[in-house]
Amino acid sequence: MRDIDSQVLATIVETASDHFFIVDGDGRVLDVSPGAAAVYGMSREALCRSTVQALEAKGILKPSVSLEVMRTGEPAQLMQQTATGRRVIAQAHPVYIAGKLKRVVSRSMDLTDLQLLQDEYALLQQRFSDHLKRSSGGSIGDDLELDSLEVRSGVMREIAVLLKRVAPTDATVLLLGESGVGKTAFARQLHRWSRRGDGPFIDVNCASIPESLFESEMFGYQPGAFSGATRHGRAGLLEQADGGTLFLDEIGELPLAMQTKLLKVIQDGSLTRLGDTRPRRVDFRLVVATNQDLARRVEEGGFRLDLYYRVNVIPVTLPPLRERREDIPVLAELQLARLNQRYGGNKLLHAGLWSQLMARGWPGNVRELENTLERAWLSSPGDLIEPEVGQQRFAAGQEPGILVSDRSSAAPTLGNTLLPEGQTLKQAMAAMERDILASLCREHPSTYAMARRLGISQPSVVRKLSKHGLTIHNER
Ligand SMILES: Nc1ncnc2c1ncn2[C@@H]1O[C@H](COP(=O)(O)OP(=O)(O)OP(=O)(O)O)[C@@H](O)[C@H]1O
Ligand SMILES: [Mg+2]
């Protein structure tokens, strides 16, 4: 190798924040970067006198990623445990000359601190949830100050309380959940709750930017960086998020090359526009969302393990609407109020439609509920959204086999409305009981008041509420 090239290589090994190991085809260590000593608990000189076989046998590092490459002849990536008790991601690549394995170059990144943070967070989350269950008696999160979001179910209230707790920190939040459950809505709320709330909220849908434009969109460019670049250059989305929140929606769709570049920005806190040489500092809070199984994407090689660890700091799963039906009435009321405001009117939903709303599967979650109500609102002529209109409209957006309540094409009769096709009497009675209780929960200050109104005992009220997963918000 020419002198200059070996100097360049030495500079990379000396200065990189990751730890490099360079070994020959037999596993003899030729060089390591200075920082490796602290991670592996051995001096650089001692490491350089050793072999990866010996290091693995002594438990200095386990397993050795270089040995894995020597065994398979392919690049490898794995998690290592070191003798100093640290957890490390190691990646290694083979170097062949004339078909013979001559070198293995591996690089490792210490994740211990990140891992500790995650473990601590999981523990806190558990304690916090236990504490809420013990102390709240059903009034979790009364002081949430949610803007334009409704959470009534216990699970959503707990999630909202947690998000509010972590909002002031700069920790990365990963929002998981099916389409339409509210990932984007809660990312915005998190931003408003954070100390960056007055700064920008930059919402980037990773699935909608063509791969060829990704780099210029994300990093921006200098004048003349490429043909078609504007005369003044442009700040990219990462730079626009400075001082605020960067929300990367559908992060599972981020191309691999961009994942590498994004990781570097997260690590360095700076970026360089296309066609520029000067790095610029950027300071944003990262929030990401996906409805993919990211761990699976890592296994399939579509998502970088190190980026996965960076974004999976605080994972929060928003459950589908069908698993938190207590939220349906408040969400429906919120949407009705919005529609009345948007289109000018004062329409109400016919009582017979509520049980249908409660019974549907809602595969499209809150978004589907909103769209369904909008269609029903627009097609009902009077002030009351009637079952006939509602049924047709509700049915129009239905996916086959998911709707349990209104598959009937027969003319609506009282019987059809109260006992939708496909439901047994018992199910319909339970749904009705639930609707009544849910509505009384909102209107009554205590289970005693509800007991008087219902003409049953207070313990019966408590039992029934618990059976339906309902609570009196703010019991006095
Ligand atoms: N708790 C809530 N209260 C009020 N509105 C909500 C709530 N959750 C979701 N919504 C509304 O439902 C719609 C869908 O939510 P959102 O766009 O946040 O879902 P998403 O999970 O980001 O979906 P996708 O995966 O398709 O991006 C939005 O109009 C949002 O405002
Ligand atoms: Mg979204």
Question: pLDDT for 19-63, tens place per residue?
Answer: 899 999 999 999 998 888 888 889 989 999 999 999 999 999 989
Average confidence score pLDDT of the chain: 84
Contacts of 94 (CB under 8 A, 6+ apart): 69, 70, 73, 74, 75, 101, 103, 104
Report pLDDT for 14.
81
Residue type, 145: E
Q: What is the CA radius of gyration of the chain?
A: 29
Ligand index nearest the alpha carbon of residue 320:
1
**Type of residue at 155:** V
Q: Whose CA is nearest to atom 4 of ligand 1?
A: 149
Supply the pLDDT for residue 36. 86
CB-based contact 359:420 (threshold 8 Å): yes
Rounded-to-integer distance, Cα 317 and Cα 4, Å: 52
Q: Whose CA is nearest to atom 15 of ligand 1?
A: 182
How close is the Cα of 1 to the center of ligand 1, in Å?
58
Instruction: For residue 176, give the ligand nearest its CA.
Output: 1
Task: Indicate the residue type of 163.
Answer: L
Contact 395, 368 (CB under 8 A): no
Distance 241 CA to ligand 1 centre (A): 22
Residue pair 102/95 in contact by the 8 Å Cβ criterion: yes
Q: What is the DSSP-derived secondary structure letter of residue 252?
A: G
Question: Which residue has a Cα nearest atom 10 of ligand 1?
Answer: 182
* Cα→Cα distances 180→222, 301, 321, 329, 366, Å: 37, 27, 9, 17, 5
Q: Which one, of 62, 65, 34, lies nearest residue 47 by Cα? A: 34
Cβ burial of 443 (10 Å; 0-12, 13-18, 19+) is exposed
- Ligand 1 atom showing the smallest separation from residue 150 Cα: 3
Question: Of the residues 366, 370, 374, which should be mutated to test ligand 1's pocket, given the most ligand atoms within 8 Å of the CB?
Answer: 366
- Cα(179) to ligand 1 centroid in Å equals 8
pLDDT per residue as tens digits for the range 394-425: 554 444 322 333 333 334 455 655 666 666 77
Residue 355 has pLDDT above 50, yes or no: yes
pLDDT score at 136: 52
Using the atom order of ligand 1, give the atom closest to the CA of residue 156: 1
- Residue 247 CA to ligand 2 centre (angstroms): 10
**Range picked from 7-16, 317-326, 356-365, 395-404 for highest mean pLDDT:** 317-326
Among protein residues, the one with the nearest Cα to ligand 1's atom 31 is 185
Domains and CATH numbers, the chain: 2-109 (3.30.450.20), 139-319 (3.40.50.300), 324-410 (1.10.8.60), 425-475 (no CATH)
Q: Is the dihedral of CA 182, 188, 193, 194 positive or negative?
A: positive
pLDDT(280) > 70: yes
Q: Looking at residue 411, what is its pLDDT?
A: 40
Q: How far apart are CA 332 and CA 57, in angstroms?
A: 63
- Displacement of CA 112 from its chain's centroid (Å): 22
Tell me what pLDDT residue 1 has. 59
